Amino acid sequence: KALAQAADKWIDMGVDGFRLDAIKHIYHNASSDENPTFLKKFYDHCNATYHAAGHTDDIYMVGEHFSEAGEVAPYYKGLPAFFEFCFWWRLSDAINNGRGSDFVGQIQSYQKLYAQYRTDYIEATKLSNHDEDRAAEVLGRSADKAKLAAAVLLSCSGHPYIYQGEELGYWGSKSGGDEYVRGPIRWTIGGALASAKVRYDSAMMTDELSVEAENEKENSVLTVYRNFAAARRHYPALTYGILGYCSEVAGVQNVAAWYRITDSQKMLVVHNFSAGSANLNFKSEPGIIICSNGTVSANGTKVTLGAYSSAIFLQK
């Protein structure tokens, strides 16, 4: 009751949603129905308060369940959204192993699992977060891999989250302490850092990786995030479309390809997960390139992707 009253206070002040931390530890039996039952009661209460405040939509509430998909799925009985740790774990493995052909099938298998518990589930897709080594660290501090990961995150299904610093290609390992994955953003060239007491990798906190410097580069990590985010915002299929498997590239092991589909729009998304080039042959012309990263060429029904490159095609 006290938690519900506290939530009501913030909803009455205008808050539209909450992030709930470590939700499998509310009761110390993560596999029982206790936690999903509590979460449903809490969500329903907050949603009723939200509606009473005059809102016609539902309140947003995302939970953090640091586990594999099979353990997370039953919790969808309680909340509409969960951070999709499995998305990042499968993606980082796929990129580091240069194998993209299995990625779509893995994501679709999770979606079928979640749908058993909630038909309107929301995958809060992400790369790393504050509880993990940074994405670029996991990807070997490779800017090309970091750009690819960004392009995948922002072209796949789900509601994507971006952990601060990833849009600049920041790296960091928790082995040295949490501070190394929570470093401050360097905004300007020559600008001072937030605090001398903050621990960070001095090799990372350079002018080159500042927002100001990356703003000026056409191929920076920040530019890729902005370009793909802009495309996602502009094309409804990239925001709301279902995820469809593209069977035409099934035999190309280093490529992940899928469709994003709504009733009125269809996009083809292709990513090369490897350091080598990828040559694709489609039955018909793939469409108009509306966003790309890396080296991409399209000639009729043939598409060539350079190392860690991506392209989104508008088909209708």
Which residues are catalytic, by number?
21, 64
| DSSP assignment of 13-62 | TT--EEEE-SGGGSSS-TTSSHHHHHHHHHHHHHHHHHHHTT-SSPPEEE
Q: Find the angle CA(116)-CA(121)-CA(122) to the nearest 5 degrees.
A: 150
Q: Which residues pair with 314 in a beta bridge?
A: 267, 288
Which residues touch 6 (CB under 8 Å, ≥6 apart)? none
Query: End-to-end CA distance of the chain, in Å?
Result: 51
| DSSP-assigned beta bridge partners for residue 237 | none
Residue-wise DSSP of 220-265: SHHHHHHHHHHHHHH-HHHHHPEEEE-GGGTT-TTEEEEEEE-SS-
Per DSSP, the three-state class of 106 is helix
Do 157 and 242 meet the contact criterion of CB atoms below 8 Å apart? yes
The answer to whether the beta carbons of residues 296 and 305 sit under 8 Å apart is: yes
- Within 13 A of 170's CA, how many CA atoms are on the CB side? 32
